[in-house]
A and B are shown apart, each in its own frame.
Chain A
Amino acid sequence: MTGYRLDNGGRIDRNRPVEFRFDGHSYQGFAGDTLASALLANGISLFGRSFKYHRPRGIMAAGSEEPNALISVDRGAGRFTPNLRATSVEIHAGLNAFSQNRWPSLKRDFGAINDRLGMFFPAGFYNKTFMWPRSFWEKLYEPAIRKMAGLGDAPTQEDPDIYASTYAHCDLLIVGAGPAGIDAALEAMGSNKRIILIDEQDELGGGALADPALWPWLERSRKALIDAPNVTILTRTTAFGYYHDNFIGAVQRLTDHSPDNSDSPREKLWRVRAGEVVLAQGAIERPLVFDGNDTPGVMLSSAAKVFGLRYGVAVGKSVALMAAHDSGWHDVFALAKAGVGIKAIIDVRTELSSALLDEASRLGINVHLNHSVTGVNGRHRVTSIQICNNDDYVGTRIDCDTLLMAGGWTPSVHLWSHSKGSLAWRDDIGAYVPDQPNENARCVGACSGGWDFGSGVIVDVLPTPKDQSRIKAFVDFQNDVTAKDIKLAVREGFRSIEHIKRYTTNGMATDQGKTSNLNGLQIASTALAKPVTDIGLTSFRPPYTPQTFGALAGHAKGALFQPTRTTNIDGWAAENGAVFELVAQWRRARYFPKMGEDMHAAVNRECVAVRSSVGIFDASTLGKIEVVGPDAAEFLNRMYTNPWKALEPGRCRYGLLLKEDGFITDDGVSARLAPDRFHLTTTTGGAARVLNMMEDYLQTEWPDLDVWLTSTTEQYAVIALQGPNARKLLEPLVEGIDLSADAFPHMAIREGTICGIPTRLFRVSFTGELGFEINVPTAYGRALWERLMAEGAKFDITPYGTEAMHVLRAEKGFIIVGQDTDGTITPFDAGLDWAVGKKKPDFVGKRSMARPDLVAPGRKQLVGLLTDDPNVVLQEGAQIVADPRQPIPMTMIGHVTSSYWSETLGRSIAFALVAGGHEMMGGTLYIPMPGKTHEAKVTGMVFYDAEGARLHV
């Protein structure tokens, strides 16, 4: 034996040595090793520091249930992964791993002072100690605790890896490819079922990988399954969650085990919908609870067997076993035969089968029945153990470097519980097993409680002559919860395991109590003198093991986080220096700065150009709905506040849409193209919502109406031409439409062609200027835009963005639904009662407009504000008070909703929602802002061309 590597055996490839690094030191292992097995082979026993007490910790388990040996892996810039289990990390050339939660080094750790102060950190310590004062928590307690207690460091750089995701469907999904899972797959293989077999390890076999006698069967089975065309095998894949209707989430690790950071995806998220699910997740061995059970070198008996027989690593040179279950005896027999030195077997039981005793005797192993381990010596590694008789507490010391624990088994019912399958308690094994399914699922093998590991007894805490309140007997190793903590919680009045769990944090670490839940339950049960089944069972929740955010996010990050909608003219705007903003999912040009201009200068120039000559604006994002059918007018009449039936074809109308509660939800100008056809527009952000609402009424309230609604938002590019020269620019380009003021008045629509392109031409204005909105099929948008820019050069045509659009509309008193309204504003509040058809018997929201609260005095109403100092532009969202001399906290009576510098007017303008605002015309209000409280006069909302002279030309 070289170091701790056995001379032969195991599934590692001894012809392929692998160099890797741990905490900066170079080590060698073999292909097939995990980080845990390779470091154990190198004699490393210390893997990390515990969460709260910074106690030295080693390896406890051999699989994903490992609570202690959490490590970080650095794969280069942005590729830092904390909190991996050393037992699940495959080594490869160049692997660079680090221990965690220690400073300055793993062996000399300052935080270990917590261990000696341990008596001051009982259950609920944080809750009790750090309650007051509140500010101390944020500034002092939490930062200090975060620094001292904790897991690995969070990565600080953006993750450059890519993550794939896929959907899969199968008739049979098998989770777990140990003997039970493989048998289930072999049995179903001959059918025509589509089968997916998932296992978290790098190869099939589960527990059989540590049982060389099964390897020939395993190899035959593996070949058969690989050859079967209907079986998909996913290794290195963790089924982390079981959701409704047999929907299972699984993450497949694709590249972490290989040396290079290739361009292929690092992980792949599988969303599997299965006809039937077979859970073969196996069982997890239970630690025993005794003083010093967390010393490095104390580990699960089954783990020692895996390290010995699967990886060819002796976990120690002189190994003792503390058993409460037969399985531990079988494990050490197998280890002894593989060449591991077994020093002694200690068992709490008084009687055992002669077969076990005879075998121990044949292998020359000392046996101590009716004994318990009461103490462990050694800090960074076991040096000896103290044992004593359970009856008379007469003790002795046994020198050894490793202590195995065989405390019985806990079926892995995690996914079964996710699926809401019920559980039944079995006294004989002291564990919950699957009972009634809630989905088409069943459990097979050890996770159903069916195992052939022999029998055992359940002990909550091993007998000891020591003062129970002074020993450190760990239950939850990852969260540093001891048996004493659980007993304390019970003494302090906690009765339900759900409360005990939260108070002590037992089972709340990243391992979700895989090795601690049942022991915690047993200890609480004893302390409460109640059967386990009376104190409840905590819920298992996804994920089964921690998963990366990357895998869950998949491609939905960065530019692909959500779609960005762009118009046909967007490319032109980008090429011409537009500054963009997002409006809902649309990318819109906010302004077009010329050389040296800031936003303010650009917007001023754009506004002046519209008012003095002509501006061009991409309005394609406006929501558009085509309403068609004999009852189209009747339908709109019921939906909108205004009357629609008398609207003549060729005319437009401003429509105001309420929800049934009477509050404004959307608005827009719509046109009647024919008796049975309307072209509706909605706000950019409201298009989908409005269509959904209209479909709702049409389908479910008025299915008798013969109307069809079609979203046409993306069918049209819309170019707004606004300004006194708009008609002159347009006239030579349009055919089939008489653009004269008499033939084509404000709020009219005509169909014809522009530059040969079919168009729906609106004469509408959101700026107060003579204006047109040219609708053409989307694909022609940019071509028409460029033609208009060229033809408009003689008018110095100016492209303007959403910012100038906002200023221009505010100068005219036009509101933006969602900015100047907030979902609690009625038409009357907004000063839009003119848009309400008073004679209409009904429309959506009409009855609510008479609700007592909606006609009560003091409602917030939309008004204009003009600051006394014309150069002050109020902050949007700024609060408004009636009297600035009132004591603080002042009564806020409203807030500023829109506020701009108007270059046209040479001063600032604003809208505000103010309680009782309509009654305050001419009055003064106060707006406290940083540094100064500003005064403003309450005015009407139309600041420019109130009589509309510029519009009707």
Chain B
Amino acid sequence: MILIHCPYCDEKRPEIEFANAGQAHVARPLDPSSQSDEEWEAYLFIRANPRGRHHERWRHVHGCGRFFNAVRDTVTDKFETTYKAGEPRR
């Protein structure tokens, strides 16, 4: 069971306290109505599937409840880093 560092609690906690919340840094367009069908499709459905570093969101759902971002290696399953929502991509 992986240990995940919650950047809000500033503690490493077991993964059962967390829930994955999909790819990170997919911002909701500020004005969705201005989006073309293609742009909106890309926002809704098109996601990266990298071999290696992957930016994804996690929620410390059975802890502080906060959503945060993480860089996880999809090959080794190791977390490289975690950081607060709103902070720049690492």
Residues of A within 8 A of B (CB): 243-245, 247, 271, 273, 420, 438, 660-661, 692, 695-696, 699-701, 703, 841-842, 846-848, 851-852
B53 within 8 A of A: no
Name which residue of chain A comes closest to B4, CB basis.
A245
Residues of B within 8 A of A (CB): 1-3, 19, 21, 27-28, 31-33, 35, 37, 40-41, 44, 57, 59, 61, 65-67, 76-78, 85-86
B59 CB to nearest A CB, Å: 7
The reply to whether A660 and B1 contact each other, CB–CB distance below 8 Å, is no
Known A-B contacts A245-B3, A660-B28, A842-B33; A699 and B44 likewise in contact (beta carbons under 8 Å): no
- A700→B56 CA distance, assembly (Å): 13
Known: A244-B1, A701-B28. Contact between A420 and B61, CB under 8 A? Answer: no
Task: Establish whether residues A699 and B85, one from each chain, have CB atoms under 8 Å apart when the complex forms.
Answer: yes
Residues of B within 8 A of A699 (CB): 66-67, 85
The reply to whether A851 and B37 form a contact with Cβ atoms under 8 Å apart is yes
**Shortest distance from the beta carbon of B60 to any chain A beta carbon, whole Å:** 11
Given B27, B41, B67, which contacts A695 in the complex, CB threshold below 8 Å? Answer: B67
When the two chains form their complex, are residues B33 and A841 in contact, meaning their CB atoms are under 8 A apart? yes
Contact: A842 with B3, CB < 8 Å?
no
Indicate if the CB atoms of A848 and B76 lie closer than 8 Å. Answer: no
Closest to B41 in A: A851
Instruction: Please give the distance in Å from A26's CB to the nearest CB on chain B.
Output: 47
Given contacts A695-B67, A701-B28, A842-B33, are A847 and B85 in contact (CB under 8 A)? no
Q: Which residue of B lies closest to A842 (CB)?
A: B32
Least CB distance from A854 to B in Å reads 11
In Å, the complex CA distance between A260 and B59 comes to 47
Cβ–Cβ < 8 Å partners of A696 in chain B: 21, 59, 67
> Does A847 contact B35, Cβ atoms closer than 8 Å?
yes
- A273 / chain B contacts, CB cutoff of 8 Å: 3
Taking A243-B1, A244-B2 as contacts, is the C-beta distance between A851 and B32 under 8 angstroms? no
Q: How far is the CA of A438 from the CA of B28 in the complex (A)?
A: 38
> By the criterion CB–CB under 8 Å, are A703 and B35 in contact?
no
Report the separation of the CA atoms of residues A847 and B78 in the bound assembly, to the nearest whole angstrom. 37
In the complex, which residues of chain B have a beta carbon less than 8 angstroms from the beta carbon of A245? 1-3
B33–A846 contact, CB under 8 A?
A: yes
Distance between Cα atoms of A848 and B57 in the complex (Å): 23
Contact status B44-A661, CB under 8 Å:
yes
16 sample A-B contacts, Cβ–Cβ < 8 Å, listed by A number: A244-B2, A244-B3, A245-B2, A245-B3, A271-B1, A420-B76, A692-B19, A695-B59, A696-B21, A696-B67, A699-B66, A842-B32, A842-B33, A846-B32, A846-B33, A848-B44
Q: Give the chain B neighbours of A271 by CB distance below 8 A.
A: 1
Is the Cβ of A700 less than 8 Å from the Cβ of B31? no
Assembly CA distance A847 to B86 (angstroms): 24
What would 20 more interface pairs be, CB under 8 Å, given A660-B44, A699-B85? A244-B1, A244-B78, A245-B3, A247-B1, A692-B59, A692-B61, A695-B59, A696-B21, A696-B59, A699-B66, A703-B85, A703-B86, A841-B33, A842-B33, A846-B32, A846-B33, A847-B35, A847-B40, A848-B40, A851-B41
A174 to chain B, nearest CB (A): 20
Pair B40/A851 contact, Cβ less than 8 Å: yes
Contact residues in B for A842 (Cβ distance below 8 Å): 31-33
The 3 A-B pairs with the shortest beta carbon distances in the complex, nearest first, are A847-B32, A244-B2, A245-B3
Give bound CA distance, A245 to B85, whole Å.
25
Least CB distance, B78 to chain A, in whole angstroms: 8
**What residues of B have a CB within 8 angstroms of the CB of A703 in the complex?**
85-86
Residue of A nearest to B32 (CB): A847
A841-B33, A851-B37 known; A700+B3 contact, CB < 8 A = no
Chain A residues with Cβ below 8 Å from B61 are 692
Q: Which of A271, A273, A703, A842 has the most CB of B within 10 A?
A: A842
A420 CB contacts on chain B under 8 angstroms: 76
Q: Once the chains bind, are A700 and B85 in contact (CB under 8 Å)?
A: yes
> Bound state CA distance, A484 and B75, in angstroms?
37
Q: Is B1 a contact partner of A700 (Cβ separation < 8 A)?
A: no
Residues of A within 8 A of B78 (CB): 244
CB-based contact B67/A847 at 8 Å: no
Q: Which of A244, A841, A848 has the largest number of chain B CB atoms within 10 A?
A: A244
Residues of chain A lying within 8 A (CB to CB) of residue B33: 841-842, 846-847
The complex places the Cα of A273 from the Cα of B2 at a distance, in Å, of 10
Q: B37 to chain A: which residues have CB within 8 Å?
A: 851-852
> Which residues in B have their C-beta under 8 angstroms from that of A841?
33
Report chain A residues within 8 Å CB of B86.
700, 703
- Separation of A699 and B85 alpha carbons in the complex (Å): 8
CA distance A852 to B77 in the complex (A): 38
Q: How far is the CA of A852 from the CA of B37 in the complex (A)?
A: 8
**Complex CA–CA separation, A116 to B28 (angstroms):** 70
Q: How far is the CB of B28 from chain A (nearest CB, A)?
A: 5
The closest CB in chain B to the CB of A271 belongs to: B1
Residues of A within 8 A of B40 (CB): 847-848, 851
Most buried by B among A273, A696, A700, A848: A700
Closest chain-B Cβ to A823's Cβ sits at a distance in Å of: 14
In the bound assembly, the distance between CA atoms of A852 and B38 in angstroms comes to 11
Residue of A at shortest CB range from B35? A847
Closest residue on chain A to residue B24 by CB atoms: A700
Q: How far is the CB of A417 from chain B (nearest CB, A)?
A: 15
Q: Give Cα A841 to B59, complex, Å.
A: 29
Closest Cβ of chain B to A741, distance in Å, is: 41
Distance of A337 Cα from B70 Cα, bound (Å): 64
CB distance from B18 to the nearest CB of A (A): 12
Closest to B28 in A: A701
- CB closest residue in chain B, given A659: B44
Q: Chain A's nearest CB lies how many Å from the CB of B74?
A: 14
Select from chain B the residue with minimum beta-carbon distance to A660: B44
Residues of the A chain whose Cβ atoms lie less than 8 Å from the Cβ of B28: 660, 701
**Which residues in B have their C-beta under 8 angstroms from that of A243?**
1
Write the chain A residue with the least CB distance to B78: A244
A700 lies within 8 A of B57 (CB):
yes
Across-interface contacts of A438 in B (CB, < 8 A): 76
Whole-angstrom distance from the CB of B20 to the nearest CB of chain A?
Answer: 12
A847 to B37, CA, bound (A): 9
A308 CA to B35 CA, complexed, in Å = 81
B44 touches A695 (CB 8 A): no
Residue of B nearest to A698 (CB): B67
Question: Which chain A positions have C-beta within 8 A of B59?
Answer: 692, 695-696
Contacts of B66 in A (CB 8 A): 699
| Bound-state Cα–Cα, A695 to B28, Å | 15
Query: Whole-angstrom distance from the CB of B66 to the nearest CB of chain A?
Result: 6
Determine whether the beta carbon of A695 is less than 8 Å from that of B21. no
Give A695 to B78 CA distance when docked, in angstroms: 27
Residues of B contacting A700 with CB < 8 Å?
A: 57, 67, 85-86
Q: Once the chains are docked, how many angstroms separate the CA of A244 from the CA of B65?
A: 23
- Closest residue of chain B to A438 (Cβ to Cβ) is B76
Distance in angstroms from A135 CB to nearest chain B CB is 39
CB-based contact B77/A244 at 8 Å: yes
Chain B minimum-CB-distance residue to A244: B2
Cα distance, A514 to B41, chains bound together (Å)? 52
B31 cross-chain contacts in A, Cβ below 8 A? 842
State the CA gap A509–B40 with chains docked (Å): 51
B61 to A, closest residue via Cβ:
A692
Of all chain A residues, the one with the shortest Cβ separation from B34 is A847
Question: Nearest Cβ distance between residue B4 and chain A, in whole angstroms?
Answer: 9
Q: How far is the CB of B6 from chain A (nearest CB, A)?
A: 13
A440 CB, nearest partner CB in chain B, Å: 12
CA distance A420 to B75 in the complex (A): 11
A508 to B3, CA, bound (A): 31
